[in-house]
């Protein structure tokens, strides 16, 4: 789950990290008022769940309230990597002495939490990783004991942070790591983390994402969800335990298992077709859930044919077939349906489908070929 | 036995009285797996598919000599179940449960390794040695005993490939699903290494998908250490960047994790990479022929 | 730092443990009102920082508000092991089906936190440990990972807790362990922890003590301090970094180091004297602190002579001598003073004392003999 | 060298620029201890008593080959200092700091042991091998090289006994203060074991106090494993029950931890127990004579 910069900043502030607090504005007028209240040079920053805001013109400086209004006008409504800006953050301008990158992520290979820092602040860390990997200082947190202050001081010394600022850096890095753990984050990032002209540490831009599997521990995070940023259909799907991603093609796909779903899309493409979606009904799908999946796919007006590809493991073929029948009884489907059914209880499933007038194809490849032909 | 599970497996089912536990215990018993006991706290005295239930793993181990455990308990309780299994001396734990938070799995992974045990999963379909033991949720009947070792991050996609192999008359030594979570107990490299050392395996199939860099790590390992022929398949070749496809790992980001990169890495390690699952059997045959 | 039962119950309730909540009363009338409000059989329980309340008559049942008043009358003012009762807790009576002991302490030998439970609820654990040690189930918490639920379930099964109550026990034991860690306790104990006639878990009596060294992390604990239970002089001493315990004798002792202070008291006793106090001025004592110690000792009217025994390590003899001189300049001391000074800068100290007309004795033994003689 | 510290000690001082660190560094250097470096974050380039200061222990170790560390930093930072020392490969850490919370020390103790290092303290006076190295806060001049090994939970009381021994012409091989905190790195038993194996030690003195059961554990160890003569002293023989005497451990509770119990346990292990510190030297002499 992704959240906005201003929300991440609020969370980090609660963990004792000094952040550049600002005001959220959804209109140019609000931005102007916020700038006036700030009474200083401000930055107007697009609040979208996407990187690359700067390059896309989503961040502007404004010396006056009028400039702030103009900046907000140009930013609100902007499309940044497919995300349309609906709000901006107005923060006081800050004199920067030094900039750093500081982030906490999972290192999948090491199966440990990784704390990364670099003196190349303000630059995307992936870029630094490719161009100057030696400029990234890394610490793996002990899975049991976490990270000790001395390790973070060492990191600060390695970054060349002046002696008088080392304790401050270590405190912020420690707090960021704690925030990552306490909030079940998958990413906690400050970029740039700066030393101001006045010599104070300040988190100028904060970013956090959360582990969807741990949301049950954080009931308050639901309030942080920005429905404008989420695809309503995808969210609705997720609430039914279905993974759904809308794509641009015209062949609806209903598959059990993420890997098989991707392979099914690949097969459709190989046969010259274009998938309308990625859809994984999940393990142990109930008839209800299959019907639900059917609804998700048929709601897309682009869909010209539907491919159902089920290999039964936990999911039983007869249950899937039952779901298809129930869905067809509820929704009138006007496009061709190609079903491929294998694995557990596939024969029972095929029998049920036959009763409903549907014939199941034997292999995925054949099914993909057939659905592409039907959609043509 | 080929790798991980086989005739020596004495299986314990944690969460045996739950809906999934009961269903799959029945399936595994029917397959012929030696399921010796189950655990559900407070379940002592019950039976599931003829398998006796105990209150704790320690009791089940001491009473029935279980050496392998499979976990079907809900995500919130799964880490505790893994700790309990390892603490009771179980040396191989298969965790089927999906949805376990990352921060819970990081210390679990460390613990299991420290104790010298092995974890498969979580969020995986399990492992099977056809004709000997099915320890997981895969449909047993599609498998056939043979000499091809299979490892995959995926569930149903694995069945797809297994089915294709079986239909082509290529039986499997073992088939192992490692799971798609960010923190998993057993990696591609771990399983490839076991297959490499397994005298009952002649060739291997690795089934990957977009996201992460596990396939690249596997490719590096294959190049350096694997002498048996390897065939690969990567799902998500046509997936658009920036979209997460179900699995936590299945996302292409920042120019890395793409199917093209993974295929290139595998091919550089002399792996024959199939464009579709149905191509796998013929590539295996030709690899075996030229080995 | 010790707290009262009702305070411990409040803390454990915050950690999710079901406790028998009650009302604190400081007068019989308040107790009567609380019993009336409860509208049921109540227990009246002395709130003192001491065990053995039951045997001392500090816990009584009352069937009516009038009986509650009478019970409170008999308990308030009671002396329990030197603690005078100034308040009682009025709690509703509860039907008990089964009783258990549950406690968390440090196992000094193992250097690990120990969780102990026994089916011998309501009995002091030390007693069970002596008479039926096999009836105590013990779990050492892993220093890094703590304790896992399965271990607590195992404990419950070992205690013979019925299957349906095992999860509840494990949850309470887990919460008690978390409370121990989160609150930096040295003891967290529920005795008895019961299953009520209605089949619910309930903490019927709770006890907690806190690690004095960790109080800096718990600013709110100061409010829990009951000044009636603390010796004002001892508290004042502690705030100056001085360990002071009032005793019944007439020879005031000022010593650096707890071990040496005890050995000094032993020496005074060996020579037939009786120490008026235990006093450790601590390491690195400043002149101010020594003067403070002097004030503490001379405030006791029983004191007939003072023995100052300093073996310099961190504490330097000249600093101590300076403290003695300053104290004597401020306070008129009418009783004889015997000083023994050895170790770091002892000679400089002796010279300073000589200037003030005090002669330092060479050995502790001689000093003890001399101070006993002076007090006679 | 006798035990723990000696001519091989290359000492690092953590918190060297603090008031206590500076004072005691000067004292230790004057005594002749080989103090090779000090650490204070941000202190790089400074010098204390001629000892160079580094920012981190890792730097100090790699630059100066320190093998032993002594810690003078405040309680809130002391656990971190211990972790840093052990992580940098220091094999022996002496923590002088008092007032460290118990819950902080429990994982520290585990960590130090896991890494195969040794911790002395916290809240202890340190260790000295007279004539070789003084690593602590004890007054050096009262000690005299010799063949009596001394171990104590107390600070100044140790000096008292050392002083008595020296005055009686009984020099010390090493004198070690283990500290009075509830969680300490090195126990009586650990030190007694080192003295037992030390060819430079002929007899041992153990100085205990009321509270806890460390002296009883020591007595059991002495009975089973110690062949050299041992003399003991227990402080707090006249302390009233239920009152905490300074140290966290120094309290007699529930009929246990009393001086009488401890003296009985030691005497049952053939330890000659002195009634007062001044009696220790004569008991040592007679023990040596009859050994």
D148: pLDDT strictly greater than 90: yes
Domain regions of chain D by residue span: 11-120, 138-290
B252: pLDDT strictly greater than 70: no
Q: How far apart are CA A135 and CA A119, in angstroms?
A: 7
A232: pLDDT strictly greater than 80: no
Tell which residue, A236, A234, A265, has the closest CA to residue A252. Answer: A265
Q: How far apart are CA A184 and CA A186, in angstroms?
A: 7
How confident is residue A23, by pLDDT bands cut at 50, 70 and 90? very high
B96: pLDDT strictly greater than 90: yes
Instruction: Give the 3-state secondary structure of chain A.
Output: CECCHHHHHHHHHHCCCCECCCEEECCHHHHHHHHHHHCCCEEEEECCCCCCCCCCCCEEEECCHHHHHHHHHHHCCCEECCEECCCEEEEECCCEEEEEEEEEEEECCCCEEEEEEECCCCCCHHHHHHHCHHHEEEEECECCCECCHHHHHHHHHHCCCCHHHHHHHHHHHHHHHHHHHHCCEEEEEEEEEEEECCCCEEECCEEEEECHHHHHHCHHHHHHCCCCCCCHHHHHHHHCCCEEEECCCCEEEEECCHHHHHHHHHHHHHCCCCECEEEECCCCCCHHHHHHHHHHHHCCCCCCEEEEEEEECCCCHHHHHHHHHHHHHHCCCCCCEEEEEEECCHHHHHHHHHHCCCCEECCHHHHHHHHHHHHC
Q: Is A153 on the interface with D (CB under 8 A)?
A: yes
Q: Write down the pLDDT at residue C124.
A: 79
CATH of the domain spanning C96-224, picked from 3.40.50.620, 3.30.470.20, 3.90.1150.10, 3.30.70.1350: 3.30.470.20
Q: Is C313 on the interface with D (CB under 8 A)?
A: yes
Q: Which of A145, A154, A164 sits opposite D42 (nearest CB)?
A: A164
How confident is residue A120, by pLDDT bands cut at 50, 70 and 90? confident
- Per the CB < 8 A criterion, the answer to whether C135 and C205 are in contact is no
Which strands form A243-246's sheet, in the order they lie side by side?
Answer: A243-246, A277-280, A251-255, A305-312, A337-343, A360-361
Q: ipTM score here?
A: 0.91
Q: Which residues of B231-240 are buried (b: 16+ CB within 10 A; e: fewer)?
A: bbbbbbbbbe
Residues in chain B: 291
User: Which tens digit of pLDDT belongs to each residue from C108-152?
Assistant: 889 999 999 999 877 778 788 878 888 899 999 999 999 999 999
User: Which tens digit of pLDDT belongs to each residue from B163-177?
Assistant: 999 999 999 999 999
| Beta-bridge partners for B145 | B172
User: Which tens digit of pLDDT belongs to each residue from C221-268?
Assistant: 988 988 877 777 888 888 888 999 989 999 999 999 899 999 999 999
- Per the CB < 8 A criterion, the answer to whether D156 and C344 are in contact is no
Answer yes or no: same fold for B11-120 and B138-290.
yes
Q: How many helices (H) and strands (E) does chain B have?
A: 9, 14
Tell which residue, C227, C178, C171, C308, has the closest CA to residue C4. Answer: C227
Residue A145 to residues A141, C115, C185, Cα–Cα distance (Å) = 8, 21, 20
Q: How many helices (H) and strands (E) does chain D have?
A: 9, 14
Q: How far apart are CA C78 and CA C91, in angstroms?
A: 19
Q: Which fold has domain A232-375?
A: Rossmann fold (3.40.50)
Per-window interface: C 212-231 vs B, CB < 8 A: none
- Per the CB < 8 A criterion, the answer to whether A91 and A121 are in contact is no
B113: pLDDT strictly greater than 80: yes
Q: Write down the pLDDT at residue C215.
A: 94
Q: Is C110 on the interface with D (CB under 8 A)?
A: no
pTM score: 0.92
C172: pLDDT strictly greater than 90: yes
Flag if B159 and A343 touch (Cβ within 8 Å).
yes
- Per the CB < 8 A criterion, the answer to whether A215 and B76 are in contact is no
- Known binding-site residues of A for Mg(2+) equal 191, 205
- Per the CB < 8 A criterion, the answer to whether B184 and B121 are in contact is yes
- Per the CB < 8 A criterion, the answer to whether B228 and B291 are in contact is yes
Is the preceding peptide bond at C192 cis, omega within 30 degrees of 0? Answer: yes
Q: Which residues of B139-157 are buried (b: 16+ CB within 10 A; e: fewer)?
A: bbebbbebbbbbbbbbbbb
| Residue ranges in chain C assigned as alpha helix (H) | 5-14, 28-38, 65-75, 125-131, 149-158, 163-182, 232-239, 258-270, 287-298, 317-330, 346-355, 364-375
Q: Which of D41, D87, D111 sits opposite A153 (nearest CB)?
A: D41
D19 carries a ligand binding annotation:
yes
> Which single residue is written with the structure tokens 């040794």?
D118
Q: Which residues of D156-170 are buried (b: 16+ CB within 10 A; e: fewer)?
A: bbbbbbbbbbbeeeb
Per-window interface: C 332-351 vs D, CB < 8 A: 342-344
CA angle centred on A259, ends A258 and A262, rounded to 5°: 85
Domain regions of chain C by residue span: 21-92, 96-224, 232-375
Q: Which of A148, A157, A163 sits opposite D80 (nearest CB)?
A: A148
Q: How far apart are CA B163 and CA B161, in angstroms?
A: 5
Tell which residue, D71, D68, D67, D40, has the closest CA to residue D56. Answer: D40
As a CATH number, domain D138-290 is: 3.40.50.261
Flag if C344 and D100 touch (Cβ within 8 Å).
no
User: Which tens digit of pLDDT belongs to each residue from A62-75?
Assistant: 999 999 999 999 99
Q: How far apart are CA B126 and CA A229, in angstroms?
A: 36
Q: Which fold has domain C21-92?
A: Dna Ligase; domain 1 (3.30.1490)
Question: How many A/D residue pairs have CB atoms within 8 Å?
Answer: 34
User: Angle formed by the axes of helices C258-270 and C364-375, to 10°?
Assistant: 50
Give the single-character DSSP code of C2. B
Classify B135 as helix, strand or coil. strand
Q: How far apart are CA A192 and CA A197, in angstroms?
A: 14
As a CATH number, domain B11-120 is: 3.40.50.720
C70: pLDDT strictly greater than 80: yes
């Amino acid at each position: 789950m992704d959240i906005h910069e201003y929300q991440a900043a609020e969370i980090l502030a609660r963990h004792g990290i000094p952040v550049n607090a600002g005001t959220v504005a959804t209109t140019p007028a609000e931005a102007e008022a916020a700038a006036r209240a700030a009474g200083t040079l401000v930055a107007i920053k697009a609040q979208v769940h996407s990187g690359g805001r700067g390059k896309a013109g989503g961040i502007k400086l404004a010396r006056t309230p009028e400039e702030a209004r103009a900046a907000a006008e140009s930013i609100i409504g902007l499309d940044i990597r497919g995300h349309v800006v609906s709000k901006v953050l107005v923060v006081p301008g800050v004199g920067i002495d030094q900039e750093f990158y500081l982030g906490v992520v999972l290192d999948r290979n090491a199966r440990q939490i990784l704390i990364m820092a670099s003196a190349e602040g303000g630059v995307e860390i992936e870029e630094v990783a490719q161009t100057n990997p030696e400029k990234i200082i890394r610490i793996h947190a002990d899975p049991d004991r976490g990270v000790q202050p001395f390790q973070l001081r060492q990191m600060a010394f390695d970054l060349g942070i002046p002696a008088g600022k080392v304790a401050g850096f270590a405190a912020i890095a420690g707090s960021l790591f704690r925030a990552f753990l306490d909030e079940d984050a998958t990413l906690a990032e400050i970029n740039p983390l700066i030393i101001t002209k006045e010599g104070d540490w300040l988190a100028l831009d904060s970013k956090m994402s959360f582990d969807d599997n741990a949301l049950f521990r954080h009931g308050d995070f639901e309030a942080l969800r920005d429905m404008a940023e989420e695809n309503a259909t995808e969210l609705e799907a997720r609430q039914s335990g279905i993974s759904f991603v809308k794509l641009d093609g015209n062949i609806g796909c209903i598959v059990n298992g993420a890997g098989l779903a991707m392979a099914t899309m690949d097969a459709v493409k190989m046969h010259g077709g274009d998938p309308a979606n990625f859809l994984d009904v999940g393990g142990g799908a109930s008839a209800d859930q299959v019907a639900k999946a059917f609804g998700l796919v048929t709601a897309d007006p682009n869909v010209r044919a539907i491919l159902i590809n089920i290999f039964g493991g936990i999911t039983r073929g007869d249950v899937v077939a039952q779901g298809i029948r129930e869905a067809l009884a509820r929704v009138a489907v006007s496009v061709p349906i190609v079903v491929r059914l294998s694995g557990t209880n596939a024969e029972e499933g095929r029998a049920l489908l036959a009763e409903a007038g549907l014939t199941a194809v034997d292999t995925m490849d054949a099914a993909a070929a057939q659905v592409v032909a039907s959609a043509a | 036995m080929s790798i991980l599970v086989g005739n020596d497996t004495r299986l314990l089912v944690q969460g045996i009285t739950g809906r999934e536990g009961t269903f799959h215990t029945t399936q595994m018993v029917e397959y012929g797996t030696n399921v010796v006991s189950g655990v559900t706290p407070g379940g002592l005295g019950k039976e599931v598919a003829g398998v006796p239930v105990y209150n704790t793993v320690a009791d089940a181990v001491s009473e029935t000599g279980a050496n392998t455990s499979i976990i079907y308990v809900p995500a919130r309780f799964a880490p505790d179940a893994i700790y309990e299994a390892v603490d009771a001396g179980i040396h191989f734990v298969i965790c089927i449960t999906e949805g376990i938070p990352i921060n819970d799995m990081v210390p679990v992974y460390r613990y299991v390794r420290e104790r010298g045990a092995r974890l498969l999963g979580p969020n995986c379909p399990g492992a099977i040695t056809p004709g000997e033991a099915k320890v997981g949720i895969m449909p047993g009947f599609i498998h056939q005993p043979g000499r091809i070792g299979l490892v995959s991050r995926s569930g149903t996609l694995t069945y797809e490939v297994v089915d294709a192999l079986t239909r082509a008359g290529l039986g499997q030594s073992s088939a192992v699903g490692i799971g798609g979570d960010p923190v998993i107990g057993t990696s591609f490299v771990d399983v490839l290494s076991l297959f490499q050392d397994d005298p009952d395996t002649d060739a291997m199939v690795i089934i990957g998908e977009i996201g992460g860099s596990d396939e690249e790590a596997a490719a590096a390992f294959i190049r350096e250490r694997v002498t048996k022929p390897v065939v690969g398949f990567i799902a998500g070749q046509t997936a658009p960047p920036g979209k997460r496809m179900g699995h936590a790992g299945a996302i292409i980001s920042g120019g890395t994790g793409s199917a093209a990169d993974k295929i290139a890495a595998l091919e550089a390690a002399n792996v024959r990479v199939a464009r579709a699952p149905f191509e796998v059997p013929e590539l295996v045959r030709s690899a075996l022929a030229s080995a």
